[in-house]
């Protein structure tokens, strides 16, 4: 390929909408262009990168025995209604683009394909003799992101590889799950990125076990917590830990103290000499379910801890989705929804707040449930004595204790967000450390969630029908491309790993007016093409400095400069990642580079 035919347009300045280095560089270097919010065109350079990533993914998926297919992007609402996910994905802040056709049938643009592939499995897989079976595809997906940002990191249209496995037993599912985990590690290594597999929340996909694959990067949206011995790593949404030990309050009778204007943990502690870990704070929330049920929540947490919204959502879904439908939203309890807001002394609420404050309360014409659903985080439940609101304006209790009469302990769950500095569960002597990462892959053990809902059944060895066991395995192909840039760049531009670079080598003619330089460059270009090298010839009539800057911005791994030494057959070879330069006879450097590329194409880090 010649630069003069590449439709290459680079930018000198950073685009205004780009917030992180990888987004800025991909736009400036002419890899992508924004068409609308969260919607990008993949320009020729980027498409070459995506094709190379897809080829690596295909090779590794094929090696596991998975079969490539292509499923419809447009999916009927009926399938999602049968799985129970339609309302959650389309109502409120749901992420599915949905529409109605000419016959007024509801349809959705697929953000994922569990429903479609399970329906196909119900039709195709009838006997244990056909199992296990795995299907995968690489195609465009859609998410109606509320706040698209960071270029391809959080876009509304993206390329994804998703695979789905079907099994006769949970043990066989676990076996394939392990095979896929190993394949994912090979994929990311071959793509030249450093990745880490961490325990993760299964989210709206569901299932029992799941792992995310993170590319470490300062701009990553996910916080990863890991132990110093590397035996534990988890996304903060999923992470569990031991909170720092609380300082005991002196043993004494429970006292009622005046605390005028002290409505926060900070103010009550600074005014009275308490520590936040000696207090219990109460959060009043309202959970909205797809059935229309409005459930008030009263949560008790230790004063120095923060609520993990994902853990709370998962708890509510596990415990109440069967009865009340999909969980749509959790919001702070709105004062306007209360029949008499004066009954709740906000800032002074304690765990023992009476359900009577909810009587007659409504939201948008619908009545709230007449009682709180009460939970306590483990850190609060473990306090022997604590400070909390007295449910009276301007007053707190000091030395309160959990007991069956005046302060009953609510149902206890892990609801807090683990933090860097917490003690590890597997070894309390170790302290969790934090790093940031970009999620590029996610694998799930789905169990029978979808097969039971969509009646995907097979006949087992005993001649009895049972639901299929399922796994799900996703890789964000377009996101992985940008994550590689986020991990590999410098002040001059992108530094592509060789296996996924749009070109492996760029030949730069220092002066397009010099016939000897042009002739040597053309000869080398043909030689590299015949040797199977992805080579780009910069044949533009531009200054050498412009070409050098563009080569660095584009991130091509190797640059061979044909300059003044062309008359004697000498060239300069520059490695983009290290900046190392070699000068010498052209054929000698060609032979050396061809051998070096064989090693680099393997993608080992």
Please report how the helices 21-28 and 477-487 are oriented relative to each other, as an axis angle in degrees rounded to 10: 100
User: Which distant-in-sequence residues (6+ apart) come within 8 Å of 87 by Cβ?
Assistant: 94, 290, 325, 326, 328
How does strand 457-459 pair with strand 465-467?
Answer: antiparallel
Q: Are 379 and 311 in contact (CB under 8 A)?
A: no
Element containing residue 187 per DSSP (H, E): helix 170-190
DSSP-based three-state secondary structure for 386: strand
Number of separate helices (H) and strands (E) present in the chain: 14, 33
Euclidean distance between CA atoms 45 and 401, whole angstroms: 65
Euclidean distance between CA atoms 525 and 507, whole angstroms: 7
Q: Within a 13 Å sphere around the CA of 589, how many CA atoms are in the beta-carbon half? A: 21
Closest to 375 measured CA to CA, from 262, 304, 256, 295: 295
Closest to 33 measured CA to CA, from 52, 18, 20: 18
406 vs 61, higher pLDDT: 61
User: Which distant-in-sequence residues (6+ apart) come within 8 Å of 154 by Cβ?
Assistant: 38, 145, 147, 148, 221
The pTM assigned to this predicted structure is: 0.86
How does strand 280-289 pair with strand 255-258?
Answer: unpaired
Euclidean distance between CA atoms 454 and 118, whole angstroms: 7
Q: Please identify which residue in the block is written with the tokens 């009587």.
A: 359
- What tens digit of pLDDT does each residue of 200-248 get? 876 655 566 889 999 988 888 889 999 999 889 999 988 999 999 999 9
Is 275's pLDDT higher than 60? Answer: yes
Q: Cβ atoms within 10 A of the Cβ of 19, count?
A: 15
Q: Are 562 and 514 in contact (CB under 8 A)?
A: no
Is 486's pLDDT higher than 80? Answer: yes
- What tens digit of pLDDT does each residue of 135-163 get? 999 999 999 998 899 999 999 999 999 99
Q: Report the pLDDT value the prediction gives residue 336, as an integer from 0 to 100.
A: 80
Question: Which of 206-210, 304-308, 423-427, 474-478 has the lowest average pLDDT?
Answer: 206-210
Q: Report the pLDDT value the prediction gives residue 204, as an integer from 0 to 100.
A: 54
DSSP string, 340-357: -GGGS-TTS--TT--GGG
Q: Are 545 and 572 in contact (CB under 8 A)?
A: no
Question: Which of 262-276, 321-335, 409-423 has the lowest average pLDDT?
Answer: 321-335
Rg (CA), the chain: 30
DSSP-based three-state secondary structure for 210: strand
Which string of b and e fits 311-332 if b means at least 16 CB within 10 Å?
bbbbbbbeebbeebbbbbebee
Q: Report the pLDDT value the prediction gives residue 444, as an integer from 0 to 100.
A: 94
Q: Report the pLDDT value the prediction gives residue 203, as an integer from 0 to 100.
A: 63
User: Which distant-in-sequence residues (6+ apart) come within 8 Å of 535 by Cβ?
Assistant: 1, 503, 504, 505, 506, 507, 525, 528, 529
Q: Report the pLDDT value the prediction gives residue 363, as an integer from 0 to 100.
A: 87
Element containing residue 188 per DSSP (H, E): helix 170-190
Alpha helices in 488-568 (DSSP H): 515-530, 544-554
Is 455's pLDDT higher than 80? Answer: yes
Euclidean distance between CA atoms 9 and 5, whole angstroms: 11
Euclidean distance between CA atoms 324 and 345, whole angstroms: 30
Preceding omega of 36 cis (within 30 degrees of 0): no
Closest to 118 measured CA to CA, from 206, 209, 212, 213: 206
Is 487's pLDDT higher than 50? Answer: yes
Euclidean distance between CA atoms 29 and 9, whole angstroms: 7
How does strand 386-392 pair with strand 395-400?
Answer: antiparallel
C-alpha pair distances (Å), 39 with each of 145, 150, 155, 159, 232: 11, 11, 6, 12, 36
Q: Report the pLDDT value the prediction gives residue 605, as an integer from 0 to 100.
A: 44
Percent of the chain as helix, strand, coil, to the nearest 5: 30, 30, 40
Looking at mean pLDDT, say which of 48-52, 250-254, 443-447, 541-545 comes out highest: 48-52
Which string of b and e fits 335-355 if b means at least 16 CB within 10 Å?
eebbeeeeebbebbbbbbbee
Is 68's pLDDT higher than 80? Answer: yes
Residue 564: DSSP 8-state: G
Q: Cβ atoms within 10 A of the Cβ of 7, count?
A: 10
């Amino acid at each position: 390929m010649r630069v003069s035919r590449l439709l290459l347009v680079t930018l000198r300045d950073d685009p205004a909408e780009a917030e992180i280095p990888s987004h800025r560089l991909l736009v400036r270097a002419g890899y992508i262009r924004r068409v609308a919010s969260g919607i990008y065109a993949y320009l020729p350079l980027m498409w070459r990168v995506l094709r190379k990533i897809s080829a690596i993914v295909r090779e590794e998926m094929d090696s596991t025995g998975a079969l490539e297919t292509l499923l419809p992007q447009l999916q009927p609402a009926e399938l999602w209604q049968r799985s129970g996910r339609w309302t959650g994905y389309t109502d409120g802040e749901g992420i599915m683009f949905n529409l109605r056709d000419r016959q007024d049938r509801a349809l959705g643009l697929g953000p994922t394909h569990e429903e479609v592939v399970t329906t196909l499995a119900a039709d195709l897989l009838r006997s244990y003799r056909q199992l296990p079976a795995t299907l995968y595809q690489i195609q465009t997906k859609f998410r109606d992101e509320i706040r698209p940002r960071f270029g391809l990191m959080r876009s509304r249209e993206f390329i994804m590889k998703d695979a789905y496995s079907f099994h006769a037993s949970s043990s066989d599912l676990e076996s394939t799950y392990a095979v896929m985990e190993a394949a994912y590690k090979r994929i990311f290594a071959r793509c030249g990125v450093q990745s880490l597999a961490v325990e993760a929340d299964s989210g709206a996909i569901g299932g029992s076990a799941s792992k995310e694959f993170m590319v470490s990067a300062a701009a990553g949206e996910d916080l990863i917590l890991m132990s110093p011995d590397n035996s534990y790593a988890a996304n903060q949404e999923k992470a569990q830990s031991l909170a720092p030990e609380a300082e005991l309050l002196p043993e004494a009778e429970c006292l009622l103290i005046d605390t005028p204007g002290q409505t926060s943990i900070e103010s009550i502690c600074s005014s009275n000499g308490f520590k936040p870990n000696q207090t219990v704070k109460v959060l009043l929330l309202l959970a909205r379910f797809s059935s229309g049920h409005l459930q008030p929540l009263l949560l008790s947490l230790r004063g120095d801890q923060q609520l993990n919204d994902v853990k709370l959502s998962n708890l509510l879904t596990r415990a109440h989705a069967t009865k009340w439908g999909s969980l749509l939203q959790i919001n702070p309890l709105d004062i306007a929804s209360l029949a008499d807001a004066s009954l709740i002394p906000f800032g002074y609420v304690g765990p023992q707040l009476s359900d009577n404050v909810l009587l007659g309360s409504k939201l948008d014409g619908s009545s709230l449930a007449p009682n709180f659903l009460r939970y306590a985080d483990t850190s609060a439940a473990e306090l022997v004595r604590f400070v909390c609101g007295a449910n009276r304006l301007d007053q707190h209790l000091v030395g309160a204790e959990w007991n069956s009469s005046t302060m009953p302990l609510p149902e206890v769950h892990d609801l807090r967000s683990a933090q860097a500095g917490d003690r590890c569960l597997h070894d309390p002597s170790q302290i969790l450390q934090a790093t940031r990462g970009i999620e590029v892959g996610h694998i799930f053990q789905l169990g029978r969630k979808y097969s039971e809902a969509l009646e995907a059944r097979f006949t087992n060895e005993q001649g009895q029908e049972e639901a299929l066991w399922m796994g799900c395995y996703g890789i964000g192909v377009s996101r992985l491309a940008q994550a590689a840039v986020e991990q590999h760049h410098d002040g001059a531009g992108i530094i592509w790993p060789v296996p996924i670079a749009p070109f492996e080598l760029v030949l730069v003619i220092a002066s397009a007016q010099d016939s000897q330089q042009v002739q040597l460059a053309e000869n080398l270009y043909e030689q590299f093409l015949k040797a199977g090298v992805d080579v780009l010839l910069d044949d533009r009539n531009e200054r050498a400095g412009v070409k050098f800057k563009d080569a660095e911005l584009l991130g091509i791994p190797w640059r061979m400069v044909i300059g003044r030494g062309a008359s004697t057959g000498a060239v300069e070879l520059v490695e983009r990642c290290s900046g190392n330069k070699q000068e010498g006879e052209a054929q000698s450097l060609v032979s050396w580079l061809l051998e070096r590329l064989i090693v680099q194409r393997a993608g080992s880090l």
